[in-house]
C-alpha cells in the first residue's frame, strides 16, 4: 500500500504545482514590435512603412497557429484611414500591406477572429 500512497502524493503534487506558475509574461517583442494582450492571446504588432506583421502567441508564450485566423487592420496614419486584410504567412504570422507610413502617432487597430472564438482587438499607437 505504501507505493500507492506515494503514487497518490506524487499525483497530488503534480496537480497542484503547475497551476500556480502562471503570470510573469514577457513583454519584450521577439520581432521588434509592440505586444498587446487581448484576453486570450498576446499579439505582437510590427509596423513598418507600408507593411504590417502580426505575431500571435498564447498567454504562456507559445506561438499560436494562425493559418485559419481571419484578421483585419485599420490604420490611421497622418489623418488618412485605411483598412487592410491580414493574411496568414507560411512562417506562422499574419501579414498585410498598404500605403501607410509608420510614423509617430499612427494608430493601428487589429481585429482578429480565431475559428470558433469571439473577435479580439488590439490597439497600438506608434511612438
User: Considering only residues 66-95, where is the footprint of other proteins by CB under 8 A?
Assistant: 72, 74-76, 79, 81, 83
| 23 scored as a contact of other proteins (CB under 8 A) | yes
**Among 26-34, 43-51, 85-93, 110-118, which window interacts with other proteins (CB under 8 A)?**
110-118
| 9 scored as a contact of other proteins (CB under 8 A) | yes
| 104 scored as a contact of other proteins (CB under 8 A) | no
| 102 scored as a contact of other proteins (CB under 8 A) | no
Distant-in-sequence, close-in-space partners of 12: CB < 8 Å, separation ≥ 6: none
Residue whose C-alpha is closest to residue 110's, from 120, 100, 118: 120
* 86-104 burial: b if 16+ Cβ within 10 Å, else e: bebeeeebbbbebebbbee
Amino acid at each position: 500500500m505504501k507505493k500507492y500512497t506515494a503514487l497518490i502524493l506524487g499525483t497530488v503534487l503534480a496537480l497542484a504545482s503547475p497551476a500556480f506558475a502562471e503570470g510573469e509574461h514577457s513583454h519584450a517583442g521577439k520581432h521588434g514590435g509592440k505586444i498587446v494582450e487581448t484576453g486570450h492571446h498576446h499579439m505582437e504588432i510590427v509596423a513598418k512603412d507600408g507593411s504590417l506583421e502580426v505575431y500571435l502567441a498564447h498567454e504562456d508564450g507559445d506561438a499560436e497557429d494562425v493559418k485559419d485566423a481571419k484578421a483585419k487592420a485599420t490604420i490611421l496614419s497622418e489623418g488618412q484611414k485605411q483598412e487592410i486584410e491580414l493574411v496568414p504567412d507560411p512562417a506562422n504570422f499574419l501579414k498585410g500591406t498598404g500605403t501607410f507610413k509608420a510614423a509617430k502617432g499612427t494608430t493601428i487597430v487589429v481585429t482578429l477572429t480565431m475559428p470558433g472564438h469571439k473577435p479580439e482587438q488590439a490597439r497600438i499607437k506608434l511612438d
